[in-house]
Amino acid sequence: MRPDGQVRHVSVLLSSTARGARLARLLAVDALRSWEVPYETAGQVVAELAANAATHGRVPGRSFRLTLYVVGATLHVEVTDTRGERRPVLREPDGVAESGRGLFLVEALADRWGVAEGRHPRKTVWAEIDLTPAPAPAPERGTSRFGDVGD
């Protein structure tokens, strides 16, 4: 939430293609940078959810929607597609398969995630990432900000 109490928010329709999925990640990272929010983990989560929407949630001629918003110290990511009957399933990745790791990565990177049914035929796959400031690095023992301490 901004100091003035407004929620930071962006929502955009993108084509259900590989290009649309890449654009989702780029737009998300750009928005998060402008909001001064950590974007590395979120960018990867958006990339995986958008790729799934473009691959498994694709209906020719229909788009998917990317929505991001920050409330308090939580980033909420939503990707909505028009294949509500195809719910994502978290599976252990096959060691030799070239795909199938998207939700496994989302599970590892996000603090929470799930699927919500929307107005037919839609579904929304969402993820939340807790935004905590990175701890300041501790000074090395025997040093100070002015250089080595000692003899």
Confidence of residue 89 (pLDDT cuts 50, 70, 90): confident
Give the pLDDT score at 151: 46
Three-state SS letters, the chain: CCCCCCCEEEEEEEECCHHHHHHHHHHHHHHHHHCCCCCHHHHHHHHHHHHHHHHHCCCCCCEEEEEEEEECCEEEEEEEECCCCCCCCCCCCCCCCCCCCHHHHHHHHCCEEEEEECCCCCEEEEEEEECCCCCCCCCCCCEECCEECCC
Q: What is the mean pLDDT of residues 107-131?
A: 92
CA atoms within 13 A on the CB side of 33: 8
- pTM above the 0.75 mark? yes
**Residues 36-88 pLDDT 10s:** 999 999 999 999 999 999 988 888 888 999 999 999 899 999 999 988 777 77
Please state whether the peptide bond connecting residue 139 to the residue before it is cis, i.e. omega within 30 degrees of 0: no
Instruction: Quote the CA–CA distance of 28 and 21 in Å, as a whole number.
Output: 11
Instruction: Quote the CA–CA distance of 26 and 20 in Å, as a whole number.
Output: 10
